[in-house]
Structures are given as structure tokens and as C-alpha cells.
Amino acid sequence: MSDFTVTIARDFGCGGRTIGKMLAGRLGINYYDRDLIKLASEESGINISLFGKADENGRAALFKRYNRAYGEKIISPDSGDFTSDDNLFNIQAKIIKQLADRENCVLVGRCADYILKDHKNVLRVFIHASREYCVRNVMEKFALSEKEAERQAERINRARSTYYRYYTGREWDNARNYDLCLNSEDVGIERCVNIIEHYIRMLYLKKTL
């Protein structure tokens, strides 16, 4: 039985993944991001490329117009809907719950905060920053022009928001969905990690830094 789970939702380009990796390294726990897709593929036997297309950053999320309340039931492999986006989400949600039950870990994206809404000792974090800051980071990381970086950041954030709304009925960037919201531009990457680590030790590990 795990002591705690950290979920991180993040603006594209704000450094959320870096914060998650640094936090996991400091605490000596596992970090899961796209690894969740691989684990879901191994669990189900479904090709990993299908999970990638239905992922929160994929274009498929942009075409979902209606909310779909998350249900835990996984469709049988005999069904034609076994590889539907909704069933792929349910398989991934199953993996997220198994990880939270089994070990202390950091889970990035994929509605993990909502999927684990009934779990105890889950710290739900949202990392954000100004549009300008995120665009600069995207330009540097992917060697893009400013306009290209703006388009990519806008597309991915829109996809994440639509994906989240579709499966949860909630707004992705609403602070009420999270326990802790941090501006990585103002606070800084390392201090964001410090704050989250302190929060975890104070609430779950009962140790001081």
C-alpha cells in the first residue's frame, strides 16, 4: 500500500515534466508520463500507436464535442469497441489506479487527478506559466520559430483541455480541481520542486526537509 501519489497537470512548455522528474528523483520514487501508454499497451495487448493517437496531446481529443463521464468498465476484446478511444482511456485509468495502490509515484497528465479522486493521500498539482514564458521554452527545446512555438503550445494546451473536459466534465485549468497550483515562471523550477516536496513531507511523510 502506497503512502502518497502526486499527480501533475501542466501547461505545455512550463516545465511541468522537468518538475515531476526532479521531484521523483529527490523522493526516490518512480515517475510516469508516456510510460503509462506503454504499460497500458502491455496490459491490453493493444498496439501502443493506438494509445498514442488517443492520448491527451493527440489530435483526436480536439474532435470530442460532448462530455463523457469516466466509467471504469473495460470492454471485452471480443467487442468491436475494444480499441475505441473510451476503452483505451479506461485501460490507462486502470493502470493509473494500480500504480497508486502499489507504490509512491509521480503521475503526469492523463486526468490522473480525476481518476484518483476517491483515493486517499493524493496531491494534485497544476503547473502553469505565462504564454510568453512557455513559448520561449518551446522555441528553445524544439528549435522552432516564435510563431511555430505559439501554434504548437496552443494546439497541445487546447487538446489537453478538451481531453480533460471530455473525460471529467471539468475545466482542466480550474484551480479548484487541484491542491496546489504553482507558477513555474515566478517561482522557478527548483523552488517548485522544493515546495511540492515540503508539502508531501509535511502531509504524508511527517518529516521536515
pLDDT tens readout for residues 66-123: 445 445 555 445 444 455 667 788 888 999 999 999 999 999 999 999 999 999 999 9
Distance from C-alpha of 36 to C-alpha of 56, rounded to nearest angstrom: 12
For residues 179-188, average pLDDT: 98
> Considering only CA atoms, which of 153, 156, 157 is closest in space to residue 144?
153
The pLDDT, as a whole number, for residue 88 is 81
N-term to C-term CA, the chain: 24
> Considering only CA atoms, which of 38, 33, 13 is closest in space to residue 21?
33
Q: Give the domain range for residue 133.
A: 5-205
pLDDT-derived band at 57, boundaries 50, 70, 90 = low
Distance from C-alpha of 58 to C-alpha of 156, rounded to nearest angstrom: 8
The pTM of the full predicted model, rounded to 2 decimals, is 0.85
- Is the pLDDT assigned to residue 65 strictly greater than 50? no
Q: Is 207 left (phi over 0), alpha (psi -120 to 50) or beta?
A: beta
Cα R_g (the chain), whole angstroms: 17
SS3 track for 174-196: CHHHCCEEEEHHHHCHHHHHHHH
pLDDT tens readout for residues 148-162: 999 999 999 999 999
> Considering only CA atoms, which of 140, 163, 183, 202 is closest in space to residue 19?
183
pLDDT-derived band at 24, boundaries 50, 70, 90 = very high
* HSE value, Cβ hemisphere, 13 Å, CA-based, for 185: 15
Question: What CATH number corresponds to the domain at position 21?
Answer: 3.40.50.300
Q: Residues 203, 35, 100, 68: what is their CA dihedral angle, to the nearest 10 degrees?
A: 110
The pLDDT, as a whole number, for residue 3 is 87
Supply the mean pLDDT for the chain.
85
Say which amino acid occupies 156. I
Q: Which three cell numbers stand for residue 125?
A: 498539482
The pLDDT, as a whole number, for residue 50 is 64
- Return phi, psi of residue 153, to 5°: -65, -45
Share of the chain above pLDDT 70, in %: 76
- Is the pLDDT assigned to residue 5 strictly greater than 90? yes
Domain count, the chain: 1
